[in-house]
Amino acid sequence: MKNIEEYVRTIPDFPEKGIMFRDITSVIQDPDGLALSIDKIDEAIGDIDYDVVVGPESRGFIFGVPIAYKNHKSFVPARKKGKLPCETVEETYALEYGTATIEIHKDAIKPGQKVVIIDDLMATGGTMAAIIRLIEKLGGEVVKIVFLIELEGLEGRKLLADYDVASIIAYPGK
């Protein structure tokens, strides 16, 4: 079996010149790549005690649900505003050009529950910081955050410095 890094496809100059796009579709299209990515994320969580897995739309679903299933935990989707049918809590956060709003169901996290958040990519950390605020607003405690890929040049860890963050693959650039 290959190393997990070998499954990631890099596309130069996408979506704009100078960007090295790290494509996870090549990881999940390969049965060995998918299995290895899930196993590596699970290893990064380790023996931390937790109750709930939260995954942001949509690639956090891809990696979060198998982890929740494998460890017999519940899964909570964090979705773009307007996509969840029941009462929600929401958080608006800054993007490079504008803002976005993310929501979770108001009854998804119970006070005192320990939460692991799983996503495919850490860039600036803005989306993750908004999700953390939602979880904490509901009384949950974020005990671990795991990313498949980290773009170190965007310094997302600075925004998440108060949390236990792990990445499976780290790229030095943007």
The set of catalytic residues is: 59, 96
The span from the CA of 106 to the CA of 89, in Å, is: 5
Query: What is the C-alpha end-to-end distance of the chain, expressed in Å?
Result: 28
The span from the CA of 145 to the CA of 134, in Å, is: 14
